[in-house]
Amino acid sequence: MSSGPSERDLRRDDVLTAIQSLLLVVVVAMFVVTFILQPFRIPSESMDPTLRVGDFLLMNKQAFAPHGAMDVLLPRTPVRRGEVAVFHYPLHPEVDFVKRVVGLPGDRLHLRDGRLFVNGKAVDEPYAFYGASMPDSFRDDFPTLHSLDSNVDPAWWMTMRRDVRDGDLWIPAGKYFVMGDNRNDSEDSRYWGFVPEKAMVGKPMLVYFSVAAGPEKPRWWRVFRNVRLVR
∠ CA 160-165-167, nearest 5°, is 90
**Contact criterion met (CB below 8 Å) for 131 and 181:** no
Which residues are 118's β-sheet partners?
A: 109, 121
Which is catalytic among the residues 99, 175, 203, 210? 99
**Contact criterion met (CB below 8 Å) for 77 and 203:** yes
d(CA 112, CA 115): 5
Which residues are 109's β-sheet partners?
A: 118, 169
d(CA 40, CA 87): 11
d(CA 122, CA 11): 68
User: Active site includes 137?
Assistant: no
Which is catalytic among the residues 46, 186, 189, 210? 46
User: Active site includes 121?
Assistant: no
Q: What is the residue-wise DSSP string for 62-119?
A: TTTPPSSGGGGTS------TT-EEEEE-TTSTTSEEEEEEEE-TT-EEEEETTEEEET
Residues tagged active-site: 46, 99
